[in-house]
Every structure is written in structure tokens, then in C-alpha cells.
């Protein structure tokens, strides 16, 4: 039986961890890719379910950018290609773009549309009047802290909603309509980013009908 997720997420009732990094020059790309591979290898050793939206494509990007074979990426690619087979002892890999058509009716596989069908509220105020590309440019060219924080929140919302979708497909979780992923983000981040205090983000945490 699926374990329901409460609509009002309390701090401490779940947890997530994240790493966010940029390179300042192409000379650092190898280090970034190697760190990602090490993190993936550790995850493969201890996780029972690994998910990503376009996970298979992301693994290909890492492999193409590497200067040497990547143990974690290679193992993950192999596990994903064999995901239809029963492989004892290893984690299940699930790409929420390609592997969940059996639970969806919508034709779109954009994560925001998948979340809408599965009744997840993933409102993104960071993109009002701008784009992810523009936010990246503002951070890289002007070192604008707010742009960096908005990118981080966008990526974390993407990752958290992907994890929820994967858990639902795996039969590990269910939720009432309109589960507010931004509330889960706010609880997990606990004020770590200044963008959380912006009225545009804070408004997402209010109860419907609240003054």
C-alpha cells in the first residue's frame, strides 16, 4: 500500500540534501564532472531507487564531457538500459521523462505538465518575466546573488518533484490533490536562501483564502 504524504509538510518530517556548483573556466570542467561521478557512484552503492527527469540524457552529457571513463556514470547507464530486467542487489533507475507513460494520460512529458497531471503544485515564480538562460547570464556575468538563489530553487524544485513522481510510479507514495512542493522546499531549506523571503516566493506558502 502506498504511504500517503501529508499535505501540510512539517519541518523534520522529510529531508533532502543538495550540492550546487559552477565552473569559472573550462579548465574546471573535468573536476566538476569527476565530482558528479563520485557522488553518483556513492548513490548507486546505497540507494534503492534513483530517478531523474531526462536522467539518461544527463548521463550521456557527463560521459561526453569526461576525459576518462566514469565508473558511476557507466554503471548508471548500464543499470538504466537494463531497467526492464530483474537485477538483484542493484538500485532501480527511473527516468521520469521516458519510463512513466503507463501512469499518464497527457501527451506532454515536460516535468511541469507531468506534475500537473499527478496533482503536484510546482509554481515557479523565478521565471516570471525572465528565463533560466537569462538567470544564468546574470549570475555568471554580474554575480547577482538573487539570480543564483533563484536558479538553485528552480533546480531543487525540479529535483524534489522528480523524486515525488518517481516515488509515486514505484508505489511508494501518494498525496491529495494540489500537494504544495514549494512548502516542502521551504521546510527543507529552512531559510537558507534569501530568495525564500521574497514576497513572490512567500506568497506560495500561504493557505488558500488567507488574507
The burial class, CB within 10 Å (0-12 / 13-18 / 19+), for 129 is: exposed
Q: Which residue has the higher pLDDT, 182 or 88?
A: 182
Are 116 and 195 within one domain? yes
Are 177 and 148 within one domain? yes
pLDDT mean over 50-64: 95
Within a domain: residue 156?
yes
pTM: 0.87
Share of the chain above pLDDT 70, in %: 88
Are 52 and 87 within one domain? yes
Question: With 50 as the cut, is the pLDDT of residue 98 above it?
Answer: yes
Of 6-15, 54-63, 171-180, the range with the highest mean pLDDT is: 54-63
User: Which has the closest alpha carbon to 29: 64, 57, 54, 60?
Assistant: 64
- Is the dihedral angle over the CA atoms 100, 15, 92, 73 positive or is it negative? positive
Question: With 70 as the cut, is the pLDDT of residue 2 above it?
Answer: no
Query: pLDDT tens digit string along 31-48?
Result: 999 999 999 999 999 998
Instruction: Classify residue 98 by its DSSP letter.
Output: T
CB atoms within 10 A of CB 194: 11
Within a domain: residue 2?
no
Are 88 and 34 within one domain? yes
Asked which of 99, 130, 161 is the last residue of a domain, the reply is 99
Q: Which residue has the higher pLDDT, 133 or 206?
A: 133
**13 confidence band (pLDDT: 50, 70, 90):** low
Are 81 and 123 within one domain? no
Are 121 and 54 within one domain? no
Within a domain: residue 11?
no
Backbone angles phi, psi at 56, to 5 degrees: -60, -40
Average pLDDT of the residues of the chain: 87
Are 94 and 106 within one domain? no
- The pLDDT value recorded for residue 9 is 38
Are 38 and 133 within one domain? no
Are 210 and 120 within one domain? yes
The burial class, CB within 10 Å (0-12 / 13-18 / 19+), for 140 is: middle
Query: pLDDT tens digit string along 146-199?
Result: 999 999 999 999 999 999 999 999 888 888 888 999 999 999 999 999 999 999
User: Which domain covers residue 89, as residue numbers?
Assistant: 21-99
Q: Which residue has the higher pLDDT, 135 or 92?
A: 135
Asked which of 99, 119, 137 is the last residue of a domain, the reply is 99
Are 156 and 54 within one domain? no
Which of left, alpha, beta for 89 (phi over 0: left; psi -120 to 50: alpha)? left
Domain count, the chain: 2
Are 41 and 138 within one domain? no
Question: With 60 as the cut, is the pLDDT of residue 211 above it?
Answer: no
CA pair distance 166, 192, nearest whole angstrom: 26
Within a domain: residue 124?
yes
CA pair distance 204, 180, nearest whole angstrom: 8
CA pair distance 136, 129, nearest whole angstrom: 14
Query: How far is the CA of 185 from the CAs of 101, 159, 181, in angstroms?
Result: 26, 10, 6
- The pLDDT value recorded for residue 16 is 85
Within a domain: residue 185?
yes
- The pLDDT value recorded for residue 21 is 87
- The pLDDT value recorded for residue 10 is 41
Amino acid at each position: 500500500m502506498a504511504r500517503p504524504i501529508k499535505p501540510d509538510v512539517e519541518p523534520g518530517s522529510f529531508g533532502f540534501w543538495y550540492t550546487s556548483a559552477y565552473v569559472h573556466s573550462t579548465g574546471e570542467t573535468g573536476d566538476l564532472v569527476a565530482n558528479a561521478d563520485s557522488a553518483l557512484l556513492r548513490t548507486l552503492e546505497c540507494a534503492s531507487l534513483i530517478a531523474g527527469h531526462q536522467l539518461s540524457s544527463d548521463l550521456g552529457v557527463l560521459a561526453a564531457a569526461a576525459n576518462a571513463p566514469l565508473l558511476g556514470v557507466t554503471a548508471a547507464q548500464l543499470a538504466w538500459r537494463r531497467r526492464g530486467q530483474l537485477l538483484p542487489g542493484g538500485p532501480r533507475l527511473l527516468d521520469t521523462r521516458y519510463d512513466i507513460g503507463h501512469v499518464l494520460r497527457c501527451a506532454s512529458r515536460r516535468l511541469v505538465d507531468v506534475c500537473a497531471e499527478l496533482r503536484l503544485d510546482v509554481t515557479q515564480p523565478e521565471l516570471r518575466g525572465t528565463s533560466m538562460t537569462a538567470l544564468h547570464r546574470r549570475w555568471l556575468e554580474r554575480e547577482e546573488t538573487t539570480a543564483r538563489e533563484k536558479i538553485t530553487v528552480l533546480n531543487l524544485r525540479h529535483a524534489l518533484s522528480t523524486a515525488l513522481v518517481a516515488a509515486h510510479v514505484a508505489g511508494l507514495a501518494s498525496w491529495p490533490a494540489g500537494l504544495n512542493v514549494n512548502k516542502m522546499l521551504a521546510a527543507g531549506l529552512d531559510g537558507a536562501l534569501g530568495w525564500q523571503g521574497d514576497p513572490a516566493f512567500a506568497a506560495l506558502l500561504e493557505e488558500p483564502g488567507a488574507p
